[in-house]
Each structure stands twice: as C-alpha cells, then as structure tokens.
Amino acid sequence: MASREVRRFSKAEPRFFYGYIVVIAAFFILVLMFGILSTFGIFFKPMLTAFGWTRAVLSGAFLLFWIVEGLLKIVVGRVNDRLGSRIVLTVCGSIFGLGYLLMSQISTLWQLYLLYGVLVAAGISGTFVPLASTVARWFVKRRGMMTGVVVAGIGVGGLIAPPAANWLISIYGWRVSYIILGSIAWVVVVLVAQLLRRDPTQVGQMPYGENKKETGLKGDTEAFSLKGAASSTQFWLISSMFLCLGFCMYVISVHIAPHAIDLGFSAASAANILAAVAGAGVIGRVVLGSAVDRIGNRQVFVIGFVLMAAALFWLVPATEAWPLYLFAAVFGFASGGCIMSESPLVAGLFGLRSHGLILGVTTIGYSIGAGVGPFLAGYIFDVTNSYHVIFLVCAAISVIGLILSTLLRPITDTQGKITAM
C-alpha cells in the first residue's frame, strides 16, 4: 500500500519538469531562424552591388515580408492554440529553409519579393507567436523569466549570424551562403521542433507554479476571447506600442550595417556592430526577463522606450567606433527587454485561452512597424543620402511608445478582478 502511494505521488509531482525541454528547444529554434533572418542587412550591400537596385527597392522586399508575416501569424496563432507548436514549427521550419535555399537563385526583383517577401515570411510567421504562447502555457510562476530565456535566442542568433554570414559571403559569395544557411535551417529546425509540446497535459504534468497558492497567478488563465480583448482600450494600446517597437528595431537591424559602411567601416566591423546590438539584446532579455515578474511588463516597456529614445538621439552624430558600440549596447538592451515582455504582457492582460491568437493579432502592429520602418529608411536615404532624418524619426517614435506605455492600465472585469501586467 505504501509503495503504491509513493508511485502515485511521483506521478503527480515528477522530479523532472518537461517544460524546461520546451524552453531549450524553443530557444535554439529562435537562435537559428531569427539569427538567419538578422543577416538581411549583411546581404544588403552585396545584393545592391550585384543588381544595382536602390535601397528603397531592396527594402521593399522587407516591407512585403512583414505584411505577409503579420497576416499569416494570425492564422498560425489560431492553429497553434489547437494543434500545438510542434506541428507548426515542423511545417514553418521547412518553408523557411526552402525560402533561403531558393534565394540563392534569384536574378530579378520579382523573385526576391516572392521568395523573401512571401516564402521566408510564411516560414518565420510560425516562430515567435507559437513559441512564446507555448512557454506561457507551461509556466505560471517564472513566466517572465522563462520567456526571457527563450526570446534571448533571438539576440543570440543575431549575435552569431551576422559575422558568420559576412565570413561566408567573403569566402563563397552571397549565393552559396544562402544555400548553406537554408540547408542548416531546414534540417535543424525540423529536428528540434519534435521536442516541443503544446502544453503540460500532453505529458501528464501541470503548468509550473499553477498549484502554488503563493503565485497569485492561477486566475489569469481564465481568459478573454479575441473579440473580448479587442473591445478593450488596452488591446489597441499594446498593438500601437508593438508597432513603435518594430519600427525602431528593424530600421536598425536592416540599416545599421550599411550606415556603418557608409561611414568608412569595413563590412566585418559593420557586421560586428549589428552583432553587438543583438548581444546586448540577449542581456536585456535575460535581465529584464528576470525582473519582469517583480516590476511588471509595463515598467519594462517604459524603461525600454526611454533607453531606445536616448540611444537613437545619440546615434545621429556618431561617426566613430566607440559611440556606435555604445549605441548598440543601450539600444540592444532596451529593445531586447521590450521584445521579451510582449507575450507575458498579453498573457497577463487577456489570459491563455486564446493567447496565441490574441498575441498574433496584437503583434500585427509590430510587423507593420518592422516593414514600414526599413522601407521608409531606404527611401529617405535615397532622397537625402543620409540616415540622420530616419534616426531622428525613430527617436520620436520611441517617445510615442513611451507615452503609450504610461497610459496602459490593468483590466478590471465585472467581478472586480484586476489583471496583471
């Protein structure tokens, strides 16, 4: 009898929590896919040289990419809520790798727009929302910390991939480099995705911390539908905050390396500056991810937008190495912390029942900003032959994001319950 009781207790309270495997798998998938995605700025100059396109035209592929990604992740978020991230990442990882393989063969502008703007976008649409939503389902306690660890994969990928891509291009050229990156993505993402599970019930476990009264967070799984969430002011505030974040982040991601080369830096040095932004982003995701469970997600956005605005104003007159690396450190830390807070903020405000769908819809704002920002930057450069104006625009948009963050308030339902932020 006693031995049977021990066995039942062991089953209810397993010594190993599978959620940590999910976190590790999600981390490596984001390292690989967003790392490869971050190399667009490294391929920018070689492709300008090869085809003679303007910066606005080449950036237009990035605009189309984010439009398609933004629309598709609504669908992907709903599919993830029903089927889970393992199926989503297997399919999207295959599409992503295929897109980069075919990018090696482009010879005309429409091929670039089709392959990068549609195919690669379809692949990446199944990454951030499904993985962030999956982590939110696995963790009640330490949700912010675990989300920070996972999303740090974006920064780690951005730290490693740009210098690696620059090295590949210098040896093999940009076409062969696309083949190498696409092949790696196709194989590794599909294999690692098999470790993912939609939620703890699939392995007979409970979300971490759900059965601990001291967390005070169990109620946030009693949730809003998309319709209910969209009827709140908070939904539109955070969508607009995400737009500001995406605009600033991807102006820098796409154009900081070309800007550095224009200032006289080598391609390798320019890639290192871009990598420094990503490396600081890793620190921001982990540090602020650990702090978010204490200070709240709104405060992380406030801190992030303050630091981003200051860094962007600093960038305008910067022409030497140390000011550029200081910019990279501050901007990367701030933007990384904000990215980490997106999913926990949505989970805290609207719950988990439709978390993937709601996160997918709210981050359309992020996608719009991420697409419009680089395109506008390319157009302004073509007109003025300078990035100074667009950097000032980014600083102003960071200030707008700060104002929106200060306006965000918890939601009080009809029973008087106040949601977390």
pLDDT in tens, 286-312: 888 777 767 888 899 999 999 999 999
Question: How confident is residue 80, by pLDDT bands cut at 50, 70 and 90?
Answer: confident
Residue 239 belongs to a domain = yes
Q: How far apart are CA 1 and CA 3, in angstroms?
A: 5
Structure tokens at 401: 């994001």
Among the residue ranges 50-54, 162-166, 415-419, the one predicted with the least confidence is 415-419
Question: How confident is residue 406, by pLDDT bands cut at 50, 70 and 90?
Answer: very high
Question: How confident is residue 112, by pLDDT bands cut at 50, 70 and 90?
Answer: very high
Residue 309 has a pLDDT of 97
Question: How confident is residue 213, by pLDDT bands cut at 50, 70 and 90?
Answer: very low
Residue 251 belongs to a domain = yes
Q: How far apart are CA 182 and CA 203, in angstroms?
A: 32
Residue 413 belongs to a domain = no
Q: How far apart are CA 288 and CA 293, in angstroms?
A: 9
Query: Please, what is the end-to-end C-alpha distance for the chain in angstroms?
Result: 46
Query: What sign has the CA pseudo-torsion 173, 174, 176, 180?
Result: positive
What digits encode the pLDDT tens for the residues 165-186?
A: 999 999 999 999 999 999 999 9
The secondary structure of 152-163, three-state, reads HHHHHHHHHHHH
The residue segments making up the domain with residue 130 are 18-201+214-407
Residue 416 belongs to a domain = no
- Provide the angle, in degrees to the nearest 10, between the axes of the packed helices 55-83 and 128-138: 30
Cα 77 from chain centre? 15
Residue 209 belongs to a domain = no
Residue 295 has a pLDDT of 82
**Radius of gyration of the chain from its Cα atoms, rounded to whole angstroms:** 21
Question: How confident is residue 218, by pLDDT bands cut at 50, 70 and 90?
Answer: very low
Residue 282 has a pLDDT of 86
Length of the chain: 421
Q: What is the mean pLDDT of the chain?
A: 86
Residue 256 belongs to a domain = yes
Q: Percentage helix, strand, coil, to 5, in the chain? A: 80, 0, 20
What digits encode the pLDDT tens for the residues 83-101?
A: 888 999 999 999 999 999 9
Residue 12 belongs to a domain = no
Total domains in the fold of the chain: 1
Residue 226 belongs to a domain = yes
Residue 5 has a pLDDT of 41
Query: Does the pLDDT value for residue 313 go beyond 90?
Result: yes
Q: Say which CATH number the domain at 99 has.
A: 1.20.1250.20
Residue 286 has a pLDDT of 80
In b/e form, how buried is each residue of 304-319, taking b as 16+ CB within 10 angstroms?
A: bbbbbbbbbbbbbebe
Residue 217 has a pLDDT of 33
Residue 143 has a pLDDT of 77
Question: How confident is residue 211, by pLDDT bands cut at 50, 70 and 90?
Answer: low
What is the value of pTM for the model shown?
0.76
